[in-house]
């Protein structure tokens, strides 16, 4: 149950600075003018750049920890519904930041607890994200459970809303039926176009997704298949 979860009223209400303290916007009192100074109560919430990569249902964070050093100038967030798992990832981030104080590594990654099937647009503004990862989502095999899948026509519209044109949704699963389901729903959505095989295989994130997620490693150990599909957020057509 997620009744204890809280959500920001809007993306600007989100206290990102507490998640990325190294990127907290500093308010210089001497230079602050009426036009450029954030409102007093917002000052602590501001960060110097927007979050651009989201790992939906990040689990123990393997993907995040592998991607963070590859995208040192980009902010990454993992979103996870299980409290203990989310705390594990936060604890690991604290430790990695502490071990890497000299270089500042891992300051660009965080994890927050959320049910991503609800209120995703409360966290991210329209066209904010460049990449969304859906790695080994729970398959919910039974037909009556399909509505619990994190890919659906409705949720795809939310992913389309928070992604910028040109942004990419990455999917991977070992369940062929779920793979077909995800492809079917994204291909049918007017905002998305599937990447071709060649472009997909050239993307460094695809290799990371196959090898660095906990589920990806498990499936690899068991000799299972991994099905990958990536989808580009297209420009919205002009108004008639
Ligand atoms: N992505 C990780 C990986 O590839 O190793 C974890 C995959 S695990 C099978 C699915 C994860 O999604 C679990 O950690 C689960 O708690 C999380 N999850 C399921 N539904 C969610 C939701 N609505 N919001 C956030 N996380 C969710």
Q: What is the pLDDT of residues 44-68, one digit of tens each?
A: 678 999 999 999 999 999 999 999 9
Is 213 one of the annotated binding-site residues?
A: yes
Quote the pLDDT of residue 239. 82
Q: How far is the CA of 31 from the centre of ligand 1 (A)?
A: 44
> Domain for residue 30, yes or no?
no
Domain that holds residue 174: 49-233
| Residues 12-35: tens digit of each pLDDT | 999 999 999 999 997 666 655 555
Nearest atom within ligand 1 for CA of residue 133: 1
Is residue 235 marked as binding?
no
Q: Indicate which atom in ligand 1 lies nearest the CA of residue 215.
A: 5
Our mutation pick for probing the ligand 1 site, out of 64, 86, 115, 138, counting the most ligand atoms within 8 A of Cβ, is: 138
Report CA(81)–ligand 1 centroid distance (Å): 7
Cα of 72 vs centre of ligand 1, distance in Å, is: 24
Q: Ligand 1: distance of its center to the CA of 107 in Å?
A: 23
| The pLDDT value given to residue 174 | 97
Other CB atoms within a 10 A radius of the CB of residue 211 amount to: 14
26 lies in some domain = no
Read off the pTM. 0.93
Does some domain include residue 126? yes
Length of the chain: 240
Residue having the nearest C-alpha atom to atom 18 of ligand 1: 57
87 among annotated binding-site residues: no
Residues (pLDDT < 70) of the chain are 1-3, 27-44
Give the residue, out of 53, 55, 59, with the most ligand 1 atoms within 8 A of its beta carbon, to mutate for a pocket test: 59
pLDDT for 4 equals 75
Instruction: Choose the residue to mutate in 5, 57, 62, 113 for probing ligand 1, maximizing ligand atoms within 8 Å of C-beta.
Output: 57
- Do the domain assignments include residue 42? no
The pLDDT mean for the chain works out to: 92
Residue 119, domain member (yes or no): yes
Q: Which residues line ligand 1 (CB under 6 A)?
A: 57-59, 62, 79-82, 85, 115-117, 135-138, 213-216
Count of structural domains within the chain? 1
Is 12 inside any structural domain?
Answer: no
DSSP string, the chain: --TT----SSGGGS-HHHH-GGGBPP--TTT--TTTSPPGGGGGG-BSS-EEEEEET-TT-HHHHHHHHHSTTSEEEEEES-HHHHHHHHHHHHHHHHHTTTTTTTTTEEEEE--TTS-HHHHS-TT-EEEEEEES-----SGGGGGGSS-SHHHHHHHHHHEEEEEEEEEEES-HHHHHHHHHHHHHSTTEEEPPHHHHHH-HHHHHHHHHSHHHHHHHHTT---EEEEEEEPPPPPP-
Identify whether 14 is part of a domain: no
CATH number of the domain bearing residue 227: 3.40.50.150
Active centre residues (catalytic): 138
Asked if residue 173 is part of any domain, the answer here is yes
Centre of ligand 1 from the C-alpha of residue 138, in Å: 7
């Amino acid at each position: 149950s997620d009744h204890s979860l809280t959500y920001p009223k809007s993306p600007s209400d989100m206290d990102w600075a507490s998640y990325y303290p190294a990127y907290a916007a500093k308010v210089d009192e001497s230079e602050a003018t009426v036009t450029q100074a954030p409102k007093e109560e917002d000052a602590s919430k501001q960060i110097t750049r927007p979050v651009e990569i989201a790992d939906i249902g990040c689990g123990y964070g393997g993907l995040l920890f592998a991607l963070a050093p590859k995208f040192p100038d980009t902010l990454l967030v993992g979103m996870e519904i299980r409290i203990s798992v989310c705390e594990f990832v936060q604890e690991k981030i604290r430790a990695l930041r502490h071990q890497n104080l000299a270089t500042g590594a891992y300051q660009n990654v965080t994890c927050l607890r959320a049910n991503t099937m609800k209120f995703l647009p409360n966290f991210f503004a329209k066209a904010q994200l460049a990449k969304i990862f859906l790695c080994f989502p729970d398959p919910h095999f039974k037909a009556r459970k399909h509505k619990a899948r994190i890919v659906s026509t409705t949720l795809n519209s939310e992913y389309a809303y928070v992604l910028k044109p040109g942004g990419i949704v990455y999917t991977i699963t070992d369940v062929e039926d779920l793979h077909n389901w995800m492809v079917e729903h994204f291909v049918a959505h007017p905002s998305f176009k599937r990447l071709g095989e060649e472009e997909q295989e050239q993307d460094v994130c695809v290799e990371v997704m196959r090898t660095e997620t906990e589920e990806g490693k498990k499936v690899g150990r068991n000799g299972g298949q991994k099905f990958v599909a990536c989808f580009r957020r297209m420009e919205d057509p002009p108004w008639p």
